[in-house]
Chains A and B, each alone.
Chain A
């Protein structure tokens, strides 16, 4: 026990934290690209252009029905075959983004679909173009509805990043494995790895929760919360 805190942690923690930093980079970048992909795919599918919808639906189905680890291996080993060489890190970002993008597209599609058609009608009837109505009226409301779900996906993405160790990206889990291969202290190192994952994940879920509370407008809050909020803020 003493050895764990006084020797192992000071010796190996810095290297593990370096890996954790890579994990965070992977997650944040992948989340960013996945959000863009998800939004574009959702909008494309809702555009009701037949062939476009068909192509996008195929993408979503393929990426949702093949295990992420297989997708990552495929990207890592087949891209060079067709003459595209990406660094392992970017293969990871690509795989994670495409995978999560497929899931998020469904989240956005549901959120956009949940906005009452009357919102768009009212926008169009004062003379807004369909695009302006979408951008100013529908999308902001849909994003707020999607936000809690996006937070949940981010937290699971953070942990899914461990799979990227299979394609030789030096993230948290792989750095742990590297240490173990020369020290054979698997239990202690895996405990450290688990601790770091727990802290990252726990902190992000708190942040997501906080964001959610801050960003959710009164009209989307459960009644009881709206009351509490109203009680805190004196009406002018």
Chain B
């Protein structure tokens, strides 16, 4: 059974129709990449998946639970509580990290488990230490985000998402706001997560990363998924003109 199943997803901002009916499904353990030109709707699509943006139409089904659906009788959303619960299992790694400034690295990581999952503080701290150690920040537990470099912030961001024991990890351009020399460290980390068999949906411009780690690549353009396939096909034998020119633009 698919972890994620999206049918006909629509989203508009005022008169601007950003998503015009997107179909997407993600199998367990699959790493899905969304690529495409900016303004094409890939970030909006990702943000709709965990309801950071409210979709205007379509169906989103996560682990068999319908969070919103559109049928003959119209468009309905699941109760707020159900959406919140689903969200906590698909946390997001953000382009701009969005670490909570008033919390240390460790506090950032344990906040969700304690407040949302109601786990005991000592459990959450043990797990948080372990995760921060794992992303290479053993000696930064007590540092505030302002005291960390971009790469270190994103490592905390990843640890914070992992602490929620996600069934689906959403990554929104996780390396786009990093200095070039910090990018590879984060990519290595994400690659390890992908190789572990985690289910991930990643918006990224890192084509090398996509080639190496993606199971499936979707080219999002003009509010639709214009082309899909395994990375070899997408990168080596693109079918549509749009994708051909996008790939040559990004590789050169």
Contact = CB atoms under 8 A, between A and B. Distances in A.
Interface stretch (A23-31, A86-94, A121-129, A165-173): A121-129
Nearest to A120: B98
A141 B116 CA distance: 20
Interface string B79-105: 010001101110110101111111000
Contact of B92 (A125, A129, A140): A125
Contacts of A126: 87-88, 91, 111-112, 116, 160-161, 164
Given A124-B87, A126-B91, A127-B88, A141 B115 contact: no
B101 A125 contact: no
Nearest to B53: A121
Contacts of A125: 50, 52, 87, 91-92, 170
A137 interface: yes
Interface in B123-173: 142, 144-147, 160-161, 164, 170
Given A118-B96, A219-B144, A127 B52 contact: no
A217 B142 CA distance: 13
A218 B160 contact: no
Given A119-B98, A121-B52, A137-B100, A128 B116 contact: yes
A81 interface: no
Contacts of B100: 119, 122-123, 137, 141
A116 B98 contact: yes
Contact of A127 (B102, B112, B146): B112
A127 B84 contact: yes
Given A122-B94, A127-B84, A127-B87, A144 B102 contact: yes
Contacts of B146: 218-219, 226
Interface residues of A, number: 23
Contacts of A116: 98
B101 A128 contact: no
Nearest to B116: A127
A137 B164 CA distance: 17
B84 A129 contact: yes
Contacts of B115: 128, 132, 136
Contacts of B99: 122
B248 to A, nearest CB: 33
Given A127-B116, A128-B116, A217-B144, A122 B87 contact: no
Interface string B22-56: 00000000000000000000000000001010000
Contacts of B96: 118
Given A121-B94, A127-B85, A140 B102 contact: yes
A127 B98 contact: no
A118 B144 contact: no
Contacts of A140: 102
A118 B116 contact: no
Which of A126, A127, A226 has the most chain B CB atoms inside 10 A of its CB? A126
A116 B145 CA distance: 14
Interface in A92-151: 116, 118-119, 121-129, 132, 136-137, 140-141, 144
Contacts of B161: 126
A118 B144 CA distance: 17
A217 B87 contact: no
A128 B111 CA distance: 10
A121 B147 CA distance: 22
Nearest to B88: A127
Contacts of A217: 101-102, 144
A132 B115 CA distance: 9
Interface in A157-215: none
Contacts of B92: 121-122, 125
Nearest to A127: B88
Nearest to A125: B92
A124 B51 CA distance: 9
Given A118-B96, A119-B100, A140-B102, A127 B147 contact: no
A226 B160 CA distance: 26
15 contacts: A118-B96, A118-B97, A121-B92, A121-B94, A122-B100, A126-B112, A127-B112, A128-B115, A129-B84, A140-B102, A141-B100, A217-B102, A219-B102, A219-B144, A226-B146
7 nearest CB pairs, A to B: A127-B88, A219-B146, A118-B98, A126-B112, A122-B98, A127-B116, A125-B92
